[in-house]
Chain A
Amino acid sequence: MTRKSRGGGPQGRPGMSTTGRRAGLFCLVLILLLAAQATRIQVFQAKGYDNNPANQRKAIQRYSQPRGNILVGGNPVTGSAATGGRFDYKRTYTDGPDYAAVTGFSSQIYGNTQLEGIEDGLLSGTDNRLSSWAVWNEITRKQNPGGDVYTTINPAAQQAAMRGLGSQKGAVAAIEPSTGRILALASTPSYDPGSFAGSSTADQNAWTKLQADTDQPMLNRALRQTYPPGSTFKVVTAAAALANGVVTDINAPTSTPYPYVLPGTTTTLVNDSSACNQPNIDLDTAMTLSCNTVMGNLGVQTGLDKMVAMAQNFGFNDPKLDIPVRAARSNFDTTMDQAQVALSSIGQFDTAATPLVMAMVAAGVADNGTVMYPQLVDKLTKSDGSTVQLMKPQVYKQAMSPSVAGQVQQLMTDVVQNGTGTNARIPGAVVGGKTGTAQHGVDNSGTPYAWFISWAKPTGSSGVPPVAVAVVIADSNATDVTGGTLAAPIAKSVMQAVLGGQS
């Protein structure tokens, strides 16, 4: 290196060695800025960009392998098909409309709902429980094959429910009382979740058409829709009256006047059956004939707080009833005057219930007063069949003592034997039930909701009935709309499906 270049230039200017070094330093700073910016994006902001809705990577990865399956009775009701597009696979459904209320849908464009949504991590393979060694998977970014979801659904019961509902608007929920396992979950009109599983124009058209359908085929009426339960709620009222000592003998006369004027008003409560139009009818007769006057009066005598407590034992007012799909909140008002309590006690006023909760009512009675937490999923497994999680029966509430439950069971059995529920009789089985025909709409102008809740066990069995069911028909072309005529036969076929499978 020459002296001239190393030292200062003329007039003390730095030489080119110095300025060159400074310029080099400038280049170094530029490159360091790049590295800093890369670090900022790839380390600190990465999560945000990964989760940006416009970033297709997650969807591409999600659909790069077949999705795990949802199984009913050990057989998959879902599948995956290769598409050849940017998303390698799309969801298919074997009996889409029959199981839509159970599975929900998994769509490349419109996301995932119900079981497809709740168990999405497992089905799509992102759930950490699927990897034998999560940390290593994280490093290698290995994608696990999707796991399977085994449901508690009984295919025979489900098909009986769908067949029974047919073209009517309605829903069925069936539960195994001793465990809370959901045996059937049906909603009509239904839809085919496979029709919009992909991302083609046809898929988008199918979706648009479903969204615009005024019959709301994508509404899950068994879980997400509440209806006034009408007279089926009288089972809750009877249980509350018996559990709280308002009635001790179901065959003893109650001190109910006729006509019954709603407390604090001049309005008289009307009965559907003229046989109810007399004072002091006993509870058994009142249930069998579905007498509004007696049950309204018993509700008032039991009192608001105790009625609320009993309703909540069965799942009313629970905003987080997860099966694991969340059910809509069923309502029983907690502040009412006595007239409103009387109306609520016969399932009117603000009382509203999902078919699921009414099935819990029947199941709780059948299970000797123990209400089990309803569950739709039996177990979660890896793709190789090894268990990830096994669901266990869980007690929801102890609603009443076994002896009270036995009395309510007797009431329900009498309804089917001698009362409004004779259409649910099953040869060779003991059936307990309760009908309901709920008026609604302005001046009760709407087609009434036809309800039936029931349980059944083989004759001679001393065990807990293997099935409890709730049926609601929200709209039908039938002229005689009552729970007994419309809903009871469906409940009967569902119960028969379960009992038949048992023997």
Chain B
Amino acid sequence: MATPAAVAVRGEPAGPRPRSGRNVELALVLCAVAIAVFGYIEVGVNIDDKVPPDAAEYGAALGGLALIAHGVIRWRARYADPLLLPIAVLLNGIGLVVIYRLDRATPSSHAAPTQLLWSTLGVALCVAVIVLLRDHRVLQRYAYSAAFAALVLLVVPIFFPAVYGSRIWITIGPFSIQPGEFAKILLVIFFAAYLSAHRDALALTGRRIWRFTLPPGRVLGPVLLVWAAFIGVLVLETDLGMSLLYFGIFVVMLYVATAKSSWIAIGLLLAAAGVVVVGWLSPHVHARVDQWLHPLASVAAGQGANQIAQSLFAFAAGGVLGTGLGLGHSILIGFAAKSDFILATIGEELGLVGMVALFLLYLLLVSRGYRAGIALRDPFGRLLAIGLATVIGLQVFVVAGGVLDLIPLTGATLPFIAQGGSSVVTNWIIVALLVRLSDLARRPVPEGEHP
């Protein structure tokens, strides 16, 4: 390694040890915690005219979690992208604030303490992944195991009772988890491993039909099989948000791996066919499409506002600057206000300004994932990073697009923010993997290996 002095003097790109960015990360993490604590206090002041008595404890809990994660990154992933952890902490903190705020409007149910517990588990798993997984390429070996595990996770809820029309929950006593959330990561690992191994075969061989080249069945088969199994299971469970998400990840990763835009065309065709068939078979989906096209129809029919209409009312009430935390009425949305519709509360109380800030945070997180992917040299790592980033990006679009009436509503959680243990834990694991991947991507190349 070059000596620090030489770097200072010459400043040439060849030898310098890149800045790790750990101090930047620390500063940003502290800012994120401060913003969340400030939000928590604002809720208390706006609702009770006083600072919540547990604000210090809450700040200490979030700050403690963030600092532990930061310490572990400093120790085991010192070149990791310094923006990943602060963004995750900020999003998780905002989520806790908004859930706490909604708790205040629903005296009978308190979700924020549980969410903090799940966040703690999420950070613990994040730390575990960073410590235990020294090189992401290990995961490549478990591609088929991952696919199998994902399938099992998705099938299991079929044997549990449906909740709000969807069989996506495993309920044991007071705990309920959504295994489909974890399956996302496993699926991305499988796709990344499989596609990185077979990308040339997928792109170059096969029969040509009109302008499209279809790859040989033995290469495409396993992928389509796994994909079809997923979609089938999801249609059975009527969790359309997840189906759309998996499908999107699949198409994006296939395109990134093979560079064949025909995949996008085929993907869109399949998607359209799927939507038509499912929309035809399932009255649930049919109703969703109707509501998307005519969100105010129920008002005109004299039946009051449906959830989408209530959500739009909430966004409109927020306007540009928002009402301020604790001063909105998004609880009128009714059930799922803390989970699927939590964005409406953000829109109402933080306004368009808050919404755009939130979207930019997600965009930054996604772009950092892509950045790590593009900087990595091994195809598996690249696809893994891009796949994980896409999971977040697509999920944000599917959820936010649904509540904003941009696309039909599909139940899914806003990453890090919505109430839901499985979701928070999964997203922390995704961040852990991105931290690991970006650490490798940014790590200085040892002498002699540099091209």
Answer whether residue A201 sits at the interface, using C-beta atoms and an 8 A cutoff: no
Bound-complex Cα distance A120 to B335 (A): 34
Answer whether residue A57 sits at the interface, using C-beta atoms and an 8 A cutoff: yes
Could you tell me which residues of chain A, from 23 to 51, have a CB within 8 Å of some CB in chain B? 23-24, 26-28, 30-31, 33-35, 37-39, 41-43, 45-50
Could you tell me which residues of chain A, from 177 to 213, have a CB within 8 Å of some CB in chain B? none
Could you tell me which residues of chain A, from 361 to 419, have a CB within 8 Å of some CB in chain B? none
Q: Chain B binding site: helix, strand, loop or mixed by DSSP?
A: helix
Q: Which of A22, A26, A31, A45 contacts B359 (CB 8 A)?
A: A31
When the two chains form their complex, are residues A41 and B312 in contact, meaning their CB atoms are under 8 A apart? yes
Binds B, one of A13-21, A75-83, A433-441: A13-21
Q: Looking across the interface, which residue of chain A has its beta carbon closest to that of B318?
A: A42
**Given A52-B299, A56-B329, A28–B363 Cβ distance below 8 Å?**
yes
When the two chains form their complex, are residues B373 and A20 in contact, meaning their CB atoms are under 8 A apart? yes
**Given A1-B375, A19-B256, A42–B390 Cβ distance below 8 Å?**
no
Smallest beta-carbon distance A47→chain B, Å: 8
Q: Looking across the interface, which residue of chain A has its beta carbon closest to that of B332?
A: A56
- Which residues on the B side are within 8 Å of A39 (C-beta)? 352
Bound-complex Cα distance A13 to B262 (A): 13
- Which residues on the B side are within 8 Å of A275 (C-beta)? none
Q: How many residues of A contact B (CB 8 A)?
A: 48
Answer whether residue A139 sits at the interface, using C-beta atoms and an 8 A cutoff: yes
Answer whether residue A60 sits at the interface, using C-beta atoms and an 8 A cutoff: yes
When the two chains form their complex, are residues B316 and A41 in contact, meaning their CB atoms are under 8 A apart? yes
When the two chains form their complex, are residues B373 and A34 in contact, meaning their CB atoms are under 8 A apart? no
Answer whether residue A462 sits at the interface, using C-beta atoms and an 8 A cutoff: no
Specify which of B316, B382, B405 lies most central, judged by the most chain A CB atoms within 10 Å of its CB: B316
Answer whether residue B362 sits at the interface, using C-beta atoms and an 8 A cutoff: yes
- Which residues on the B side are within 8 Å of A26 (C-beta)? 252
When the two chains form their complex, are residues B374 and A42 in contact, meaning their CB atoms are under 8 A apart? no
Answer whether residue B337 sits at the interface, using C-beta atoms and an 8 A cutoff: no
- Which residues on the A side are within 8 Å of B400 (C-beta)? 34
Bound-complex Cα distance A47 to B316 (A): 7
Bound-complex Cα distance A159 to B399 (A): 63
When the two chains form their complex, are residues B299 and A34 in contact, meaning their CB atoms are under 8 A apart? no
Answer whether residue B320 sits at the interface, using C-beta atoms and an 8 A cutoff: yes
When the two chains form their complex, are residues A57 and B317 in contact, meaning their CB atoms are under 8 A apart? yes
**Given A20-B256, A41-B312, A54–B406 Cβ distance below 8 Å?**
no
Bound-complex Cα distance A45 to B312 (A): 9
Q: Which of A3, A17, A41 contacts B404 (CB 8 A)?
A: A41
When the two chains form their complex, are residues B359 and A34 in contact, meaning their CB atoms are under 8 A apart? yes
Bound-complex Cα distance A15 to B373 (A): 13
- Which residues on the B side are within 8 Å of A2 (C-beta)? 377, 451
Answer whether residue A11 sits at the interface, using C-beta atoms and an 8 A cutoff: yes
- Which residues on the A side are within 8 Å of B386 (C-beta)? 20, 23-24
Smallest beta-carbon distance A339→chain B, Å: 52
Q: Looking across the interface, which residue of chain B has its beta carbon closest to that of A56?
A: B332
0/1 interface trace, chain B 364-378, chain A, CB 8 Å (1 if under): 001100100111010
**Given A24-B370, A37-B405, A46–B319 Cβ distance below 8 Å?**
yes
When the two chains form their complex, are residues A43 and B401 in contact, meaning their CB atoms are under 8 A apart? no
When the two chains form their complex, are residues A57 and B351 in contact, meaning their CB atoms are under 8 A apart? no
When the two chains form their complex, are residues B259 and A55 in contact, meaning their CB atoms are under 8 A apart? no
When the two chains form their complex, are residues A139 and B321 in contact, meaning their CB atoms are under 8 A apart? yes
Q: Looking across the interface, which residue of chain B has its beta carbon closest to that of A41?
A: B315
Answer whether residue A53 sits at the interface, using C-beta atoms and an 8 A cutoff: yes
When the two chains form their complex, are residues A27 and B356 in contact, meaning their CB atoms are under 8 A apart? no
Bound-complex Cα distance A446 to B203 (A): 96
Answer whether residue B397 sits at the interface, using C-beta atoms and an 8 A cutoff: yes
Q: Looking across the interface, which residue of chain A has its beta carbon closest to that of B298?
A: A54
Answer whether residue B304 sits at the interface, using C-beta atoms and an 8 A cutoff: yes
Bound-complex Cα distance A21 to B379 (A): 15
Answer whether residue B148 sits at the interface, using C-beta atoms and an 8 A cutoff: no
- Which residues on the A side are within 8 Å of B260 (C-beta)? 13
- Which residues on the B side are within 8 Å of A16 (C-beta)? 256-257, 259, 373-374, 379, 382-383
- Which residues on the B side are within 8 Å of A57 (C-beta)? 313, 317, 329, 332
Answer whether residue B420 sits at the interface, using C-beta atoms and an 8 A cutoff: no
Answer whether residue B305 sits at the interface, using C-beta atoms and an 8 A cutoff: yes
- Which residues on the B side are within 8 Å of A14 (C-beta)? 259
Answer whether residue A501 sits at the interface, using C-beta atoms and an 8 A cutoff: no
Smallest beta-carbon distance A143→chain B, Å: 10
- Which residues on the B side are within 8 Å of A60 (C-beta)? 329
When the two chains form their complex, are residues B382 and A49 in contact, meaning their CB atoms are under 8 A apart? no
Q: Which of B351, B370, B377, B382 contacts A42 (CB 8 A)?
A: B351
Q: Which of B258, B321, B374 contacts A21 (CB 8 A)?
A: B374
- Which residues on the A side are within 8 Å of B259 (C-beta)? 9, 13-16, 18-19
Answer whether residue B389 sits at the interface, using C-beta atoms and an 8 A cutoff: yes
Q: Looking across the interface, which residue of chain B has its beta carbon closest to that of A140?
A: B324
- Which residues on the A side are within 8 Å of B326 (C-beta)? none
When the two chains form their complex, are residues A52 and B296 in contact, meaning their CB atoms are under 8 A apart? yes
Answer whether residue B20 sits at the interface, using C-beta atoms and an 8 A cutoff: no
- Which residues on the A side are within 8 Å of B377 (C-beta)? 1-2, 5
Bound-complex Cα distance A176 to B318 (A): 49
Answer whether residue B200 sits at the interface, using C-beta atoms and an 8 A cutoff: yes
Bound-complex Cα distance A49 to B404 (A): 13
When the two chains form their complex, are residues A52 and B313 in contact, meaning their CB atoms are under 8 A apart? yes
When the two chains form their complex, are residues A23 and B252 in contact, meaning their CB atoms are under 8 A apart? yes
- Which residues on the B side are within 8 Å of A35 (C-beta)? 355-356, 359
**Given A30-B394, A35-B356, A42-B347, A49–B312 Cβ distance below 8 Å?**
yes
Supply 7 A–B pairs (Cβ within 8 Å), ascending by A.
Answer: A31-B363, A38-B355, A43-B320, A46-B317, A49-B312, A49-B313, A49-B316
Spell out B's residues near A (CB within 8 Å).
Answer: 200, 203-204, 252, 255-260, 296, 299, 304-305, 309, 312-313, 315-321, 323-324, 327, 329, 332, 347, 351-352, 355-356, 359, 362-363, 366-367, 370, 373-375, 377, 379, 382-383, 386, 389-390, 393-394, 396-397, 400-401, 404-406, 451
Contacts beyond the supplied A9-B259, A16-B382: 18 A-B pairs with Cβ under 8 Å: A1-B377, A14-B259, A16-B257, A16-B259, A19-B259, A20-B373, A24-B374, A27-B394, A28-B363, A35-B356, A35-B359, A38-B359, A41-B315, A41-B316, A42-B355, A43-B320, A47-B316, A49-B317
